[in-house]
């Protein structure tokens, strides 16, 4: 459930004035994961868009679930205002993995400034400064790594980034078991990079 809430905190929407909860994604596996986590086989529909990408969604109307999400910090029209989410500490990194599968990224490259320097970063993005700073504080309190916050090219989105050594510590917490629910394509990407360094990620 913590993972599902992480997805909702990033790619989800609470529709104002109703009890409708919507999760939108271009990745069907993400929606199947959400269904699995909440224990309901919601229908996966297609959302109309002006872009070429196939956008899918699941929706649920449930008064108790909607009220629960409000009680832990999710709100309608949350993209720029979301802040701390009331997630128990023992499930925070499962929640964070949901955020990562929603609006996070992992990328690697050879740094031309140093010979044979292979770099990689784990990144979380949000338009809400409160949310990004809360995540940063929770990670620091949990495993003692700071990361750094930057703005995207347009200045509208904040990016919380963790470089090589800190990424390793963070990802090992997020993928703490071979049985965690996650997007397989992201985990595979991480596993390939870890493999180059003689490390492993649970799979």
CATH architecture of 95-196: Roll (3.10)
Q: Give per-residue pLDDT as tens, 57-84.
A: 999 999 999 999 999 999 998 888 899 9
What is the helix (H) or strand (E) element at residue 48, kind and residue range?
A: none
Q: Give per-residue pLDDT as tens, 121-151.
A: 999 999 999 999 999 999 999 999 999 999 9
| Domain range annotation of the chain | 2-77, 95-196
The residues pairing with 108 across neighbouring beta strands, listed in sequence order, are: 120
Q: Measuring CA to CA, which residue among 47, 54, 171, 64 is closest to residue 121?
A: 171
pLDDT of residue 196: 79
- Predicted confidence (pLDDT) at residue 203 exceeds the cutoff of 60: no
| CATH number for the domain running over 2-77 | 3.10.28.10
Residue 138 token pair: 């929770």
Cβ distance 102 to 9 under 8 Å? yes
Higher pLDDT, 117 or 179: 179
Asked whether the domain spanning 95-196 has the same topology as the one spanning 2-77, the reply is yes
pTM: 0.92
pLDDT of residue 80: 86
Residue 36 token pair: 């699995």
* Dihedral Cα 154, 157, 162, 168, nearest 10 deg: -120
**Residue 156: band (very low, low, confident or very high) from pLDDT cuts 50, 70, 90:** confident
Mean pLDDT of 9-15: 95
Number of neighbouring beta carbons within 10 Å of residue 152? 11
Residue 14 token pair: 């609470």
What is each CA distance from 109 to 48, 106, 133, 184, in whole angstroms? Answer: 35, 11, 26, 21
Q: Hey, is 7 helix, strand or coil?
A: helix
- Predicted confidence (pLDDT) at residue 199 exceeds the cutoff of 80: no
């Amino acid at each position: 459930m913590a993972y599902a809430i992480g997805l909702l905190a990033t790619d989800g929407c609470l529709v104002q004035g109703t009890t409708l909860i919507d999760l939108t994604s271009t990745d069907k596996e993400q929606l199947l994961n959400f269904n699995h986590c909440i224990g309901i086989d919601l229908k996966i529909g297609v959302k109309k868009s002006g872009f070429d990408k196939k956008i899918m969604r699941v929706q649920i109307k449930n008064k108790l679930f909607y009220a629960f999400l409000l009680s832990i910090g999710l709100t309608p029209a949350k993209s720029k205002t979301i802040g701390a989410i009331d997630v128990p500490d023992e499930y925070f990194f499962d929640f964070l993995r949901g955020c990562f599968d929603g609006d996070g990224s992992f990328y690697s490259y050879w740094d031309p400034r140093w010979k044979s320097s292979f770099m990689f970063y784990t990144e979380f993005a949000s338009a809400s400064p409160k949310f990004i700073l809360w995540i940063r504080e929770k990670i620091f309190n949990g495993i003692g790594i700071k990361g750094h916050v930057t703005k995207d090219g347009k200045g509208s989105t904040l990016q919380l980034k963790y470089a090589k050594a800190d990424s390793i510590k963070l990802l090992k917490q997020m993928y703490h078991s071979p049985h965690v629910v996650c997007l397989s394509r992201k985990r595979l990407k991480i596993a390939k990079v870890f493999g180059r360094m003689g490390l492993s990620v649970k799979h």
